[in-house]
Amino acid sequence: MSTQGTDAGAREIGVGLIGLGVVGGGVAQALIERKDYFARQVGASLVVRRAAVRDLSKPRTVDLPAGLLTTDVNDVLGDPSIDIIVEVIGGEEPAGSFIRAALQAGKHVVTANKELMAKSGPELLAEAHSRGLDIMFEASVGGGIPLIAPLRRDLLANRIASIRAIINGTTNYILTGLARTGAVGQALRAQGIEPPGGAGFAEALADAQRLGYAESDPTNDVEGYDAAYKLAIMATLGFRSRVRPSQIDTTGITKLHPRDFQYAQELGYVIKLLAIAERIDGGIVARVAPAFIPNTEPLAKVDGVYNAVQIEGDLTGTVLFQGRGAGAEPTSSAVVADLLDLSHAIVLGNRERKYWGPEGDLPVLGLEHLHTRYYVRVTVNDRPGVLAQIAQTLGDHSVSIAAVSQKEADSDAQTAELVIMTHRAKEGSMRTALRAIEALPVVNQVSSFLRVEG
Ligand code: HSE
């Protein structure tokens, strides 16, 4: 505690910022504008003492005294009047080293860093705990949606069966745009000739970047890595067992074809980038991939930058969290919530914070163990008996067809497109069947293979 006082306003808690970009600026702004309210809530004033930035001359949205800014992070880490460090630069390094140094200096940490917490969270939490400190990371998942605190506290009594989430705002923004008005809309009007990754995709991504939703390298968004980090964090908390990003089978949205959106719509589904972790016999399975979901499901109606996370607890049943998953204001709301929580604990004199890292060691299984339904789009030779061969191959691998239809035919190339929806089948069998189908002389290619989730 940097200073002691007799009333809430007089007592101060020193905050040091590492990073003063979109989120850091939003946090500093909130701490200034809502100072009195926060002081009443926690019994002390939260004061920004130093902020480490890369470039002192860069224009800022927040008006901090010039002397507070420094380009030397050690000015923040070594300042004895700072109680809590807020790390909002992102990425594994140097953020990880800064957080370790903050803990060594006896400071609590608040971070929005999903990559770091997904990869090294349990070690960092253990390190913090051994020093009587805490690391809080509500802002790492789902922007302003409360998710970490509920998983850590409110749902603790439950055995969590599954976490199903739309957890990346950028891709949801792009997919929503594509499904409504972008490349897919145009392609629908033009009979599906827009290539994947066409103008609509690029425009929607540029929009998401302009709005501050996308990562500095948007590959992390569109290839699903950002969603995988967030799923790893939630699953590790929810199952109380370590789930690493590298154990999550991850597919992004860049290979989707406009016709997949068209067929989804015709069949009563929408395509969403879903992050799912669930308990099955023998362990956990986890995946991030674009998937069909029935358009009647709550997750199907989550559009634009909105995220939603559906958690199935044995006592609660299904609970659904929904809100803005990216952007400066929602994310700074989560950072400030953690700051207030830690500040309140400091004011109350809590010397020990509860350890909340994983306890169990459930195996994370491969997706061949998964049991679900599938959508497959196959380009075939347009001649008699082709469908029978494909149906036979699926049957040989115990995959039962729920519906099949022949779509676009190319009379010049004498090819046609078959769209197949299956009943529930083991993914291992399904993948073996698809390899056998692709090897059939009458099949040009398996153009799409998506799970039907829900
Ligand atoms: N790039 C992330 C997203 C930001 O689009 O969801 C929030 O973590």
Judge if the beta carbon of residue 270 lies within 6 A of ligand 1: no
- 213 in the same domain as 158: yes
- 108 in the same domain as 194: no
- 27 in the same domain as 125: yes
pLDDT of amino acid 276: 98
Atom of ligand 1 nearest to the CA of 325: 6
- 139 in the same domain as 80: yes
What residues make up the domain containing 182?
151-325
- 399 in the same domain as 271: no
Q: What is the pLDDT of residues 359-374, one digit of tens each?
A: 888 999 999 999 999 9
How much is the mean pLDDT over the chain?
91
Question: Which residue lies with its CA nearest to atom 8 of ligand 1?
Answer: 326
Q: What is the pLDDT of residues 129-185, one digit of tens each?
A: 999 999 999 999 998 999 999 999 999 999 999 999 999 999 998 898 877 754 444
- 129 in the same domain as 73: yes
Judge if the beta carbon of residue 273 lies within 6 A of ligand 1: no
Distance in Å, CA 221 to ligand 1 centroid: 7
- 103 in the same domain as 167: no
CA separation for the pair 307, 115 (Å, rounded) = 18
pLDDT of amino acid 204: 80
- 76 in the same domain as 112: yes
Atom of ligand 1 nearest to the CA of 220: 1
Region 272-288: mean pLDDT is: 96
Residue 358, domain member (yes or no): no
Q: What is the pLDDT of residues 94-142, one digit of tens each?
A: 999 999 999 999 999 999 999 999 999 999 999 999 999 999 999 999 9
pLDDT of amino acid 7: 62
- 120 in the same domain as 172: no
Residue 2, domain member (yes or no): no
Report the residue among 171, 215, 229, 324 best suited for mutation to probe ligand 1: largest number of ligand atoms under 8 A from its CB: 215
Residue 354, domain member (yes or no): no
Q: Which of 114, 119, 230, 272 is catalytic?
A: 230
Report the residue among 166, 221, 223, 331 best suited for mutation to probe ligand 1: largest number of ligand atoms under 8 A from its CB: 221
HSE-up (13 A, CA, CB side) for residue 7: 3
Atom of ligand 1 nearest to the CA of 168: 6
- 176 in the same domain as 75: no
pLDDT at 404 over 70: yes
- 193 in the same domain as 73: no
Report the residue among 213, 225, 329 best suited for mutation to probe ligand 1: largest number of ligand atoms under 8 A from its CB: 213
> 3-state SS string over the chain?
CCECCCCCCCCEEEEEEECCCHHHHHHHHHHHHCHHHHHHHHCCEEEEEEEECCCCCCCCCCCCCHHHEECCHHHHHCCCCCCEEEECCCCCCCHHHHHHHHHHCCCEEEECCHHHHHHHHHHHHHHHHHCCCCEECHHHCCCCCCCHHHHHHHCCCCCEEEEEEECCHHHHHHHHHHHHCCHHHHHHHCCCCCCCCCHHHHHHHHHHHHCCCCCCCCHHHHCCHHHHHHHHHHHHHHHCECCCHHHCEECCCCCCCHHHHHHHHHHCEEEEEEEEEEEECCEEEEEEEEEEEECCCHHHHCCCCEEEEEEEECCCEEEEEEEECCCHHHHHHHHHHHHHHHHHHHHHCCCCCCCCCCCECCCECCHHHCEEEEEEEEEEECCCCHHHHHHHHHHHCCCCEEEEEEEEEECCCCEEEEEEEECCEEHHHHHHHHHHHHCCCCEEEEEEEEEECC
pLDDT of amino acid 153: 92
Q: Is 230 a catalytic residue?
A: yes
- 417 in the same domain as 301: no
Of residues 287 and 384, the one with the higher pLDDT is 287
Of residues 442 and 454, the one with the higher pLDDT is 442
- The domain that holds 99 is classified in CATH as 3.40.50.720
Distance in Å, CA 170 to ligand 1 centroid: 6
- The domain that holds 409 is classified in CATH as 3.30.70.260
For the chain, what is the domain count? 3
Distance in Å, CA 369 to ligand 1 centroid: 30
